[in-house]
Structure 1
Amino acid sequence: MPSPQISIVAPLYNESESFPHLVQRLTQLMDSLPLPIEVVLVDDGSRDTTALQMRQIALTDPRYHCVFLSRNHGHQLALTAGLAAARATEALFIIDGDLQDPPELLPDFYQKMQEGYDVVYAVRRKRKENFIKKTGYFLFYRLLKSISYVDIPLDSGDFALISRRVADVLNQMPEESRFLRGMRSWVGFKQTGFEYERSERVAGESKYSFKQLFGLAYNGIFNFSEFPIKFMTRAGGVAIGIALIYFVIVIVKKLFFAGIIEGFTALLFVIILFSGVQLMSLGIIGEYVLRIFFQSKGRPLYVVKEEIIESTVYSSQFTVGKVPPQTMSSTTTQRLTDNG
């Protein structure tokens, strides 16, 4: 097939139930558009039959380009692997495999890009999640926007159409704790939003646990805001202020009322206050140290086990994710050359 003009990138993890629906809708979309399009599916170490179904479609339809990671690396890193593998010359369309992000919006996004935008990101007008998740998302995006030094759009996830040059910049960013929607905003260029109503999952259950959602939120806050580290200074100032006020009260009572505040309760209050501030400060510092620790290891962001391009299987003999082109082996360079 000719070099794809657009790549549709979808990370998958245990999506065997929704996979037939995904393939059906993506195939119909590609058949209806005059542009050369490839679909990059990334298996993030699935434990069901997702990888098997991916192999079947990739070996029968050369428009499907499949990447199989060696284990579960997480949604953001699987998406990063898809961006790195995409061969599109013009734009990359990022969706989720559960079809909550309708792929049929590609023509609308592409039309907006033709107006001169490098990034067309989706803005969720209405969600189908439960009340707790909807409230959490609502509060998080507004908190992040208020404290971030980057203008991250409200209610905007990874669902977007990005130009080739934006994708190239993202691929060069070696961050280990990735928050792609924040990185996308940081890159800059001309960006615009496109409102849509998010659909329900076509099948199966969400693979994002509350723990993973909190981890993603932490990456957004600690990677794109100076607030946590500055908050420690402010919290320390407040604690000192409270201590000084308390000290003044004690002195006034001693000098003018012939007595001082006594008792276990007052002492306990002071100990809890200062201990809490110190432990919270250590926790915030620990978050930054942890990120520095993982980043300093220099490990690849992910490891590719196998790749199917235009119905041809390639078993990877190298790790990828942070390998600059000039350090790739000759085998790697030859493989990439052979496949565009």
Structure 2
Amino acid sequence: MKKISIISPCFNEEENVRACHEAVRALFEGGELAGYEREHIFSDNCSEDRTPAILREIASKDPCVKVILNARNFGPFRSNFNALRYATGDAILVFLPVDLQDPPELIPQFVRHWENGIDVVAGARANREESLSLRICRGIFYRIVNGLSDFEIPMNVGEFQLIDRKVWEVVVAHNNQYPYIRGIIASCGFNRLIVPYTWKARRRGISKNNLMRLIDQALNGIFSFTNAPMRLCTFAGFGLAILCIAYALVGILSYFILPDYAPRGTMTIIIALFFFSGVQLAFIGMLGEYVTAIHAQVRHGPMVVEREKINFGTEGSDKRRDAPVAASDSSPA
């Protein structure tokens, strides 16, 4: 019997974890996926409400549910990627949110496409039950990333994707301290099918994504897979240098030809000083993004520190199964 693994990160989701578990279980027990074995991995990011207690209760009654309790909040991407490395299924649903904004009803359709030979079945949020401003910002982000990257991240595709075991092996082999998972999957290649769906509005609880976290995720996506920002800085530096030389030549010529109209005075100096200072600070900021990512990577710290694992048994001691994972990350505390 083939096994389907499903990854569900959560943080302060006491109102949603039971509904998520029941929705998945219904698909496998008497539902469209009755002929498959189920593995549902919840990764709790140090919730401050009753989420850990509810997960313990669910796991005690359902051996197909596995739970990872993080020692602190490590952010959604690292928590998701760490749980992903524990998956043992023949196909793996990379991310199913416990708030069910990405609909679990699509999982049987994903599995059918996978059985027909598709390595990556990706859900695309063709319609979003969210504000127009957020939809516009997301559209701009995808266009920027795809314009700068050497590969395409499909528009409106997040981590709600079913991947084959061989794709999983390549994905989890990445030793990245801040993994941008949808970008990693896209960079791996393989044959891919896009399935559009409606991204539902949250029915219970409050979203944990705020504006700063969304900006952080967007910057991570941009700086993780391209050096185009630094190359832009290089070209802009040369361009500004040429403009400065041209401006100086114009100033010298105008002084001799049209002395009354020649640029002079402290105002010109102040404007030029502040303009070039702003440009330098912007370039230093871009450079800092890369330096920060390199610094986090070379320190070789654990991606996630785990406080407790439930229902893993002996297999939980080897999160790699068949795929290689960097030794520094293979045994978090």
TM-score (norm 1): 0.89
Equivalences, count: 324
| 1:220 to 2:221 alignment | yes
Ranges in structure 2 where 5+ consecutive residues have no aligned partner: 318-323
Deviation (angstroms), 1:175: 0.7
How far apart, in 1, do the equivalents of 2:316 and 2:188 lie?
33
Aligned to 1:27: 25
How far apart, in 1, do the equivalents of 2:133 and 2:206 lie?
16
Aligned to 1:75: 76
| Residue-by-residue CA offset, 1:307-333 (whole Å, 9 max, x unaligned) | 1117x69998xxxx965399869xx9x
Aligned to 2:320: none
Aligned to 1:39: 40
How far apart, in 2, do the equivalents of 1:60 and 1:262 lie?
81
Q: Following superposition of structure 1 onto structure 2, how do residues 48-67 of structure 1 map, counting pairs within 5 Å?
A: 48-67=49-68
Cα distance, 1:27–1:289 mapped onto 2, change above 3 Å? same
Aligned to 2:306: 304
Cα distance, 1:326–1:43 mapped onto 2, change above 3 Å? closer
Q: Matched residue of 2:85: which SS?
A: helix
Aligned to 1:288: 290
Q: Is the 8 A contact 1:94 1:160 kept in 2?
A: yes
Q: Matched residue of 1:85: which SS?
A: coil
| Residue-by-residue CA offset, 1:270-306 (whole Å, 9 max, x unaligned) | 1122212211111111111111111110001011211
How far apart, in 2, do the equivalents of 1:127 and 1:53 lie?
30
How far apart, in 1, do the equivalents of 2:189 and 2:227 lie?
19
Q: Matched residue of 2:195: which SS?
A: strand
Q: Following superposition of structure 1 onto structure 2, how do residues 160-171 of structure 1 map, counting pairs within 5 Å?
A: 160-171=161-172
| 1:324 to 2:322 alignment | no
Q: Following superposition of structure 1 onto structure 2, how do residues 163-202 of structure 1 map, counting pairs within 5 Å?
A: 163-202=164-203
Q: Matched residue of 2:126: which SS?
A: strand
Aligned to 1:10: 8
How far apart, in 2, do the equivalents of 1:315 and 1:159 lie?
24
The one-letter code sitting in structure 2 at the alignment partner of 1:256 is I
Cα distance, 1:193–1:324 mapped onto 2, change above 3 Å? same
Aligned to 1:274: 276
Deviation (angstroms), 1:93: 4.8
Q: Is the 8 A contact 2:175 2:326 kept in 1?
A: no
Q: Matched residue of 1:94: which SS?
A: coil
How far apart, in 2, do the equivalents of 1:93 and 1:273 lie?
45
Aligned to 1:234: 235
Deviation (angstroms), 1:131: 2.5
Q: Is the 8 A contact 1:239 1:277 kept in 2?
A: no
Ranges in structure 1 where 5+ consecutive residues have no aligned partner: 333-340
How far apart, in 1, do the equivalents of 2:279 and 2:114 lie?
48
TM-score (norm 2): 0.90
The one-letter code sitting in structure 1 at the alignment partner of 2:15 is E
Cα distance, 1:315–1:221 mapped onto 2, change above 3 Å? closer
The one-letter code sitting in structure 1 at the alignment partner of 2:47 is S
How far apart, in 1, do the equivalents of 2:197 and 2:41 lie?
23
| 1:119 to 2:130 alignment | no
Q: Is the 8 A contact 1:100 1:198 kept in 2?
A: yes
Aligned to 1:338: none
Deviation (angstroms), 1:241: 3.0
The one-letter code sitting in structure 2 at the alignment partner of 1:324 is A
Q: Matched residue of 2:193: which SS?
A: strand
| Residue-by-residue CA offset, 1:21-74 (whole Å, 9 max, x unaligned) | 212211211211221111111111111111110000000011111111111111
The one-letter code sitting in structure 2 at the alignment partner of 1:137 is R
Q: Is the 8 A contact 2:43 2:67 kept in 1?
A: yes
The one-letter code sitting in structure 1 at the alignment partner of 2:299 is K
How far apart, in 1, do the equivalents of 2:220 and 2:248 lie?
40
Q: Is the 8 A contact 2:91 2:162 kept in 1?
A: no
Q: Following superposition of structure 1 onto structure 2, how do residues 80-159 of structure 1 map, counting pairs within 5 Å?
A: 80-159=81-160
Seq. identity, %: 30
Deviation (angstroms), 1:85: 1.5
The one-letter code sitting in structure 2 at the alignment partner of 1:10 is S
Deviation (angstroms), 1:225: 1.6
Aligned to 1:336: none
Q: Is the 8 A contact 1:306 1:315 kept in 2?
A: no
- CA-based RMSD of the aligned residues comes to 2.5
How far apart, in 2, do the equivalents of 1:226 and 1:111 lie?
38
How far apart, in 2, do the equivalents of 1:78 and 1:35 lie?
26
| Residue-by-residue CA offset, 1:188-228 (whole Å, 9 max, x unaligned) | 11112111111111211111111111111111100112211
Aligned to 2:255: 254
